[in-house]
Structure 1
């Protein structure tokens, strides 16, 4: 981590310390939407930190955004930062469009959505499942076969759904005829690569959130083990508990290294190998960290009022979002098989031949 990241994370951590609990008081049907935290980070320019300045962003790097995401994951921040910065904002900038203020979200059109051009109109009809933060988004970007469709709030119907952590993962219904310029595909270069790059960014964002949440779970376990006494001494002095904490620390470190490395790699261009390694590592470690944290806390950590509950439910939810551990492990396997014996070394050392 460099001085820029140190400054960024210090600022975001300070803001989160003041405002990250605001979603607890929010309405349940908003998924704990933390409007004060969003407003504060937007005012600081954080919500577009990885968007180029010419598109209205702050002109930072993917590594900057990933550093911020890890802090937000650590604080279980209920805002669509990844969707607005790494996904929606990036898509708009890639299409040559300015990035507006306000929360964005982005998704991939499945089989249920149909986008058809008719002269100066584009018809968008059908449904999309499990769109993150759709109920709060002022703009929704949908990646489809020929490009990207831009929908504005009020142009689609939201059926509220949530993930295991209670975060909005809404179903969206659309039946609209829009101006043709709302289909941004003509502004894309190398449109065929957009879907792959989107999926990599979605996976990297969840990997970063997982790394932050795991760090929080470890901190909670260490604090609790130092405070909770059994048989006249803190449970942190028991060898079994020390082994749990040491194992958690190892997993947390591996998660952070994998995420930071992937952020640097993707900052230079799409890199499925680095992203697959990061998501496989973080998704696999998430379950281990959550399990050990709850073993240290005992039954106390399962209650909804306890901060560990808010952290581990996110670990369990995020590990399958952006592609599961098994999906990205399979991607790694396909790359290794495709490289063959002669290309495997170049692949694992990330030389040009292996990218």
Structure 2
């Protein structure tokens, strides 16, 4: 276990709960340990860590169903602001790509399904022409939620006085890849967490005089889930390594991120199915903590691009590259 993962596990352990709003105490602990803005440069209040380090933290956050906007603050909002020369404000942040009417510093429009909007200090919006920083004071926020009951709020901006910068070339493409990379890490972690709880339950639940984990049919299902967890974790970690090595502007990184989001989304359905099959009816109850992970698997696989959408993009990339480029694309070699 790396030092970063060891620290993340010590902070995140036990954070899973039935709450739905941002976990303020956990966020404070993440900020105090430097994990909240891990990949940002020191000038932006970050720890200057790699995407591989961020992958470990995000996978741990997914495994513990942590109620914090790590992807939104670090990989998206913080990066957008710093890369466009804007000051990164304190506190948790969120970010979306949307179209707003920008007239000088006056901004108008509506934002749908904004992650964590009700609990952050500012909303960062990537429009086709500008990066817009909106302090939450004065914004009209209507509560919404995804399947996992995480905040996905509606935000109405009516002439708010914003901090605005012209958008840089390539920012929209990188934002999309960063969002998918972060979501893939969370999916890989949630799948790992669901498997761990299922293995534990199979060892504790006794049927016909012995733990159900002793039955061959259950063992086969657990082995299948374990293979899905291993594949999704490997794909997510490989995408982070490609982003570190080549940068998001490289075709290799785009291909790796697309593969990671597609593979983790695919694994999410299988792992959730097996977890509930092994748990039986109790796993579907609101009182059981399995739902904290499986509902996130179901919700996250469709956020930041579904596995079907990214698979279609992978197929288009392969067809455009031609047969001679297939092996280099798959293996990441020249």
Q: Matches of 1:285 and 1:291 in 2, distance apart?
A: 10
Partner of 1:32: 21
Of 13, 36, 56 in structure 1, the residue corresponding to residue 9 of structure 2 is 13
Structure 1 residue 247 corresponds to structure 2 residue 224: yes
- Deviation sequence 1:231-266 (CA, Å, 0-9, x none): 111111111000010000000000100000000111
Contact 2:94–2:116 (CA<8 Å) still a contact in 1? Answer: yes
Partner of 1:133: 116
Measure how far apart 1:341 and its partner are. 2.7
Structure 1 residue 160 corresponds to structure 2 residue 143: yes
Structure 1 residue 210 corresponds to structure 2 residue 193: no
Contact 2:138–2:160 (CA<8 Å) still a contact in 1? Answer: no
Check 1:177–1:228 CA distance in 2 against 1; reply closer, same or farther (3 A cut). closer
Measure how far apart 1:217 and its partner are. 0.8
Q: Matches of 1:254 and 1:230 in 2, distance apart?
A: 31
Of 170, 173, 177 in structure 2, the residue corresponding to residue 200 of structure 1 is 177
Structure 1 residue 176 corresponds to structure 2 residue 159: yes
Of 215, 229, 234 in structure 2, the residue corresponding to residue 257 of structure 1 is 234
- Deviation sequence 1:270-295 (CA, Å, 0-9, x none): 12100110000000110000000011
- Deviation sequence 1:5-29 (CA, Å, 0-9, x none): x1112122122225x14x54x5xxx
Partner of 1:145: 128
Of 86, 108, 114 in structure 1, the residue corresponding to residue 97 of structure 2 is 108
Partner of 2:106: 123
Partner of 1:310: 292
Q: Provide structure 2 residue ranges, at least 5 long, that are not aligned to the other structure.
A: none
Q: Matches of 1:331 and 1:349 in 2, distance apart?
A: 17
Measure how far apart 1:155 and its partner are. 3.5
Measure how far apart 1:177 and its partner are. 5.0
Q: CA RMSD in A?
A: 1.5
- Deviation sequence 1:213-238 (CA, Å, 0-9, x none): 11111111111111111111111111
Q: Matches of 1:328 and 1:313 in 2, distance apart?
A: 21
Q: Matches of 1:49 and 1:69 in 2, distance apart?
A: 10
Q: Matches of 1:172 and 1:245 in 2, distance apart?
A: 42
- Deviation sequence 1:93-145 (CA, Å, 0-9, x none): 211233222000000014xx322x3xxx2331111110100111111110011
Q: Matches of 2:137 and 2:171 in 1, distance apart?
A: 26
Partner of 2:326: 344
Partner of 1:80: 69
SS of the residue 1:312 aligns to: helix
Partner of 1:234: 211
Of 231, 239, 247 in structure 2, the residue corresponding to residue 269 of structure 1 is 247
Partner of 1:280: 262
Q: Provide structure 1 residue ranges, at least 5 long, that are not aligned to the other structure.
A: none
Q: Matches of 1:71 and 1:266 in 2, distance apart?
A: 19
Check 1:289–1:167 CA distance in 2 against 1; reply closer, same or farther (3 A cut). same
